[in-house]
Amino acid sequence: MYSKQELKEHLKFMGLISSDALMLHSSMKAIGEVDGGADTVIDAFMEYLSDGLFMTPAHTWAQMSENYPIFNPKTELACVGIIPNLFLKRPGVVRSLHPTHSIAAYGALASEYVQGEELCTTPCTPGGCWDRLRNIHAKILLLGVTHIRNTFIHSIEEVLDVPERFTAKPVQFYIQMPDNRRIPVSMYRHYNRHTAHISESFDKLSEAFYERGVAKKVSFGDAEGILCDAEGLFQVTSQVLSHERNCLIDRENIPREWWANGML
């Protein structure tokens, strides 16, 4: 059974420092037995990143629909596991107002970082919270999950205007604002006619990320993890997709020469 101090040591061994901005995608089951459970895991991250910005996804895409169109960021549960849902309850944690792909954030700049998401019209709109991870030199930590759960890659595809990623028509949602107004937003959803889940193709980039040094294998508790540099992921993915924008869906494998010997 891992203690909070042991988990902090694991973060230190990864090379993280207190001022880092970090987005965490996680499986609590993979982390294993922790004294105090998921709350202790959250404590370890919040305390270790005391001078930085700690974030998790707070997605609601699984439940939001034409029949369930009202997003209340104060009460709506995330569909991405126990750690984000417990994190959302912590004092000082703020949530972006995106109706399907919100994030939860903690730190001195958290409130500033999540601003403007009620204006988004796609899941990971260019210039929004997911895209801006690269601008703040954020790191992305995948614990017990792979790039299939790496939402940031969706944002890269949006910036690069990869085709066949959205529904033909948007869905009308309503966002419950802090002053209790409900504002309408027309939101396109992820969709590709060839696959039910676009992100299932993202692991095709793993070898490129490792070889180019923008991702490395780490461990936290019992979980195998991947620590990534957001800006580096963007550059490598951009290089790969420059050969064929829809290659992640269209191809079984990505040719190595598409990323080998590149310069970051």
CA distance 95 to 20: 19
Bridge partners (DSSP) listed for residue 71: 175
179-225 confidence digits (pLDDT tens): 999 999 999 999 999 888 899 999 999 999 999 999 999 999 999 99
Tens of pLDDT along 9-27? 999 999 999 999 999 999 9
Residue 262 confidence (pLDDT): 63
Give the pTM: 0.96
Q: How far is CA 192 from CA 27, 78, 244, in A?
A: 26, 23, 17
The secondary structure of 132-149, three-state, reads: HHCCCCCEEEEECCCHHH
Percentage of residues in the chain with pLDDT exceeding 70? 99
| Contact residues for 120 (Cβ-Cβ < 8 A; gap 6+) | 98, 128, 185, 187
